[in-house]
């Protein structure tokens, strides 16, 4: 039996926490960069003015990407880089 889906069917994938650049790999150096970029743009132009994804970079789930999220992503990257976490 062959499975088919209608043409208008959309698959929605939830963002991965820690994957601020939305490339499917959480907690890597690019995620640190994009989180810093989003924090800087939000500070300069106001919250919601940035086009970068916010839910993937919002690690603590408080509804905004801030320096707490940046610390969490950086810390997780450091643990993974040291081989202490996968």
> pLDDT digit string (tens) for 31-77?
999 899 888 888 888 776 666 555 788 888 888 888 999 999 999 99
Structure-model confidence comparison of residues 20 and 53, the more confident one: 20
| 12: confidence class by pLDDT, cuts 50, 70, 90 | low
* Helix/strand/coil for 35: helix
Tokens read off for 10: 């959309």
What torsion do the CA atoms of 45, 49, 55, 61 make, to the nearest 10 degrees?
Answer: 50
Q: What's phi and psi for 22, nearest 5 deg?
A: 55, 40
- Residue 56 and residue 73: Cα distance in Å, rounded? 11
Instruction: Decide: pTM greater than 0.75.
Output: no
């Amino acid at each position: 039996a062959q499975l088919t889906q209608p043409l208008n069917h959309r698959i929605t994938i939830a963002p991965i926490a820690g994957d601020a650049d939305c490339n499917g790999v959480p907690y890597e150096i690019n995620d640190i960069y994009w989180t810093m970029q989003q924090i800087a743009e939000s500070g300069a132009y106001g919250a919601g003015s940035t086009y970068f994804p916010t839910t993937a970079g919002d690690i603590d789930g408080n509804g905004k990407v801030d320096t707490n999220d940046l610390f969490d992503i950086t810390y997780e990257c450091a643990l993974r880089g040291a081989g202490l976490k996968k």
